[in-house]
């Protein structure tokens, strides 16, 4: 149980770091993200994204299963983009377009893949 919680928190931390990098690269707000608690804000966003992945994503996958099968998995990218949009709606001063969210979803997939690879080696 503690090991699963540790991996969940590791994924949340990686998600937060990737979200911070993605917002730095793709944010359309010219002023950017500022403030005293920026690090905590992105770690909280990573935790929120991990919770959305654990709770909302399975429901979306079940509902969209026929479309996922017909599109050979492309709809999964759209589900990830939707989860990124839901997460970024809670971050103040963040304005990201569709293609920025697509790039963020791909970056999150790569980050979570590396966390899974490290977890599989232990």
Is the per-residue pLDDT at 65 higher than 80?
yes
96 touches 23 (CB < 8 A) = yes
Q: What gap in Å lies between CA 2 and CA 45, rounded to an integer? A: 22
- pLDDT tens digits along 4-45: 788 778 878 888 888 888 888 887 776 666 666 677 777 788
| Tally of CB atoms within 10 A around 28 | 9
d(CA 122, CA 119): 6
Q: How far is 106 from 114, CA to CA, in rounded Å?
A: 13
Q: Where are the domains of the chain?
A: 2-121
């Amino acid at each position: 149980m503690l090991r699963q919680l540790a991996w969940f928190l590791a994924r949340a931390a990686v998600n937060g770091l990737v979200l911070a990098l993605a917002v730095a690269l793709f944010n359309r707000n010219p002023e950017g993200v500022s403030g005293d608690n920026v690090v905590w804000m992105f770690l909280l966003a990573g935790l929120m994204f991990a919770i959305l992945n654990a709770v909302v994503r399975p429901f979306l996958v079940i509902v969209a299963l026929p479309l996922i099968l017909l599109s050979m998995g492309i709809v999964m990218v759209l589900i990830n983009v939707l989860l990124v949009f839901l997460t970024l709606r809670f971050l103040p001063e963040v304005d990201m377009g569709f293609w920025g969210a697509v790039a963020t979803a791909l970056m999150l997939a790569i980050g979570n893949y590396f966390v899974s690879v490290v977890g599989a080696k232990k």
